[in-house]
C-alpha cells in the first residue's frame, strides 16, 4: 500500500525547500517522514493516510480550546462572508485590543501584527527607539523569532556578544546582542555592571519553551526586573507562547512581575495568523504614526484572524477553564513520570498551565540550555516514533514544549497514558 505521507513529502521537496514551510516540520531532529495533516477536530488530527492521532502539538500552542472549535469556526465564517481583508481599520481591532488590555494589566496600549516574529522584532525596535540605546540582552536557548538580531548563539565566555547562527545574517546585525545563560543571576548582574547604560532592553521567555519547557527561578526574574528599572532599560516578556497558555493573565501573573512590553501570539489568534505587542502607553507612543519608530503591516489586524482570536479569548474566560486545563496537563505529566519510573526509563516531565516538557536522560529538571544539551536524543527519537506509531502526536524535537487543550478530556489523557505504558515497556525491553 502506498503511504501518501511519503508520496507528498517527496513531491513537496521538489517545490518547497526541504519539503516544508517551517524547519521543525521536516522531522530533522527525529528522522523519518512528517505527517501531512488533512484535518483536525478537538484533541485529534488526521493525516493523509486517514490515521488518527491524539495531538499534543496543537498547532504549536494556539489550539487551546481544541482544533476547529465550533464556536470559533462559526465566528470566522460569519466575518469571512463580509470580506477577508480590507487594509483599513475595523471595529473588531478595537474589541480585541480592549480584551487584551483587560486580561494583561501591564499592557496599556497594543499594536496588532501577523506573527510572533513581527511582534518581537517590533518590540525590540521600539525599545531601542524609546531608550536611544542599541544593546539588547537575550538568553541562550530562548527563541524570539527569526529576525536578524535575534538569530544568535552564545560564544565561549560568560558575557558573550552574539554571533550569527544562521546564514544570511551579517555579523554587524548581531554585534549589539548580548547572549547570557538562562537562570544565571551572576551573569545578568555582570552584564548590567559592565554595559548597563548602553542596554536598551532585555527580552526573555518567562517560561522557556523553545529549548523545551524550562522554568526560570523567582530570583532570576525579579533580578531582571530590578536591574532594568535601575538602569532605565526596557523589560520585554516574550509571551508569544506563554500568553493565555500558562494562565489567563499570562506568565507575568504567575511571576507577579510587570514587564514594560509584552509580545503575544498563538492563542490570541485562535489558530489564525495574529500576534501583538503592547505595554506602557509612554513607550507605545513612540510607535508610528505617533512617534518615529516605524512599523506597518498590510494584514495586521486581519478581520478573520481577529474574529478567531476574539472568540478564543471569550472561551478561555469561562469558569474553571484554566483549573481543568492545568489539572489535565498535570495528570498527563505525573502519569508519564510514574510510568517512566515503573519501566526504569530515564524520563522526567514537567508542566505549567497547559504547557509541558519531557526530558530523557537527565537526573533533574533542566535550568538552562546547557542542561538541555545533555538530553538523550536517541532515546527521545525512539520514544517519539513509537508514540507516533501508537497514535500520539508529540513535537518532533527534544527541544520543543508540548501543549494540552480543553478538548483533552480525562478519557484522552487516560488513553494517552495507556499507550505510553506499552511504548515504555517496549523501550525497556529493547535497552
Question: Distance between CA atoms of 61 and 312, rounded to whole angstroms?
Answer: 13
Question: Distance between CA atoms of 208 and 206, rounded to whole angstroms?
Answer: 6
Any catalytic annotation for residue 260?
no
| Greatest C-alpha distance within the chain | 66
Please identify which of the residues 143, 182, 359, 412 carries the catalytic annotation: 143
Retrieve residue 37's grid coordinates: 495533516
Residue with cell 510607535: 287
Please identify which of the residues 184, 238, 331, 350 carries the catalytic annotation: 238
- Inter-axis angle of helices 410-430 and 377-389, nearest 10: 130
* Burial classification of residue 33, based on how many CB atoms lie within 10 Å of its CB (0-12 exposed, 13-18 middle, 19 or more buried): middle
Bridge-partner residues for 403, per DSSP?
355
Any catalytic annotation for residue 331?
no
Active site residues: 143, 238, 266
Amino acid at each position: 500500500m502506498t503511504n501518501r505521507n511519503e508520496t507528498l513529502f517527496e513531491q513537496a521537496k521538489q517545490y518547497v525547500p526541504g519539503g516544508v514551510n517551517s524547519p521543525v516540520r521536516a522531522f530533522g531532529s527525529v528522522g523519518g517522514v512528517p505527517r501531512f495533516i488533512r484535518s483536525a477536530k478537538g484533541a485529534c488530527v488526521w493525516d493523509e493516510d486517514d490515521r488518527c492521532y491524539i495531538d499534543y502539538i496543537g498547532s504549536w500552542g494556539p489550539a487551546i480550546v481544541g482544533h476547529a472549535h465550533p464556536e470559533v469556526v462559526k465566528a470566522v465564517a460569519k466575518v469571512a462572508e463580509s470580506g477577508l481583508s480590507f487594509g483599513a481599520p475595523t471595529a473588531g481591532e478595537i474589541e480585541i485590543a480592549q480584551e487584551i488590555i483587560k486580561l494583561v494589566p501591564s499592557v496599556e496600549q497594543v499594536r496588532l501584527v501577523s506573527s510572533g516574529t513581527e511582534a518581537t522584532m517590533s518590540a525590540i525596535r521600539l525599545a531601542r527607539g524609546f531608550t536611544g540605546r542599541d544593546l539588547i540582552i537575550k538568553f541562550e536557548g530562548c527563541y524570539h523569532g527569526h529576525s536578524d538580531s535575534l538569530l544568535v548563539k552564545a560564544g565561549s565566555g560568560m558575557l558573550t556578544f552574539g554571533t550569527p547562527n544562521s546564514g544570511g545574517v551579517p555579523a554587524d546585525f548581531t554585534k549589539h546582542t548580548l547572549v547570557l545563560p538562562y537562570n544565571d543571576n551572576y551573569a545578568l548582574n555582570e552584564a548590567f555592571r559592565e554595559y548597563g547604560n548602553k542596554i536598551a532592553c532585555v527580552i526573555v521567555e518567562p517560561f522557556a519553551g523553545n529549548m523545551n519547557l524550562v522554568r526560570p527561578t523567582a530570583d532570576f526574574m525579579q533580578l531582571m526586573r530590578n536591574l532594568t528599572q535601575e538602569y532605565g532599560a526596557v523589560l520585554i516578556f516574550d509571551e508569544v507562547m506563554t500568553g493565555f497558555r500558562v494562565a489567563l493573565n499570562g506568565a507575568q501573573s504567575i511571576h507577579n512581575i510587570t514587564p514594560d512590553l509584552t509580545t503575544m501570539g498563538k492563542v490570541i489568534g485562535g489558530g489564525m495568523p495574529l500576534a501583538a505587542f503592547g505595554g506602557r502607553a509612554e513607550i507605545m507612543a513612540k510607535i508610528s504614526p505617533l512617534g518615529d519608530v516605524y512599523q506597518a503591516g498590510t494584514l495586521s489586524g486581519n478581520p478573520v484572524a481577529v474574529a478567531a482570536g476574539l472568540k478564543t479569548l471569550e472561551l478561555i474566560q469561562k469558569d474553571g477553564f484554566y483549573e481543568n486545563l492545568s489539572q489535565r496537563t498535570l495528570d498527563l505529566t505525573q502519569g508519564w513520570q510514574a510510568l517512566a519510573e515503573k519501566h526504569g526509563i530515564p524520563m522526567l516531565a514537567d508542566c505549567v498551565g497547559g504547557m509541558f516538557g519531557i526530558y530523557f536522560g537527565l537526573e533533574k529538571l533542566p535550568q538552562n540550555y546547557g542542561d538541555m544539551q545533555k538530553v538523550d536524543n536517541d532515546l527521545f527519537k525512539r520514544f517519539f516514533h513509537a508514540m507516533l506509531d501508537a497514535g500520539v502526536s508529540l513535537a518532533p524535537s527534544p527541544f520543543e514544549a508540548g501543549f494540552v487543550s480543553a478538548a483533552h478530556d480525562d478519557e484522552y489523557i487516560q488513553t494517552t497514558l495507556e499507550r505510553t505504558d506499552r511504548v515504555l515497556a517496549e523501550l525497556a525491553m529493547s535497552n
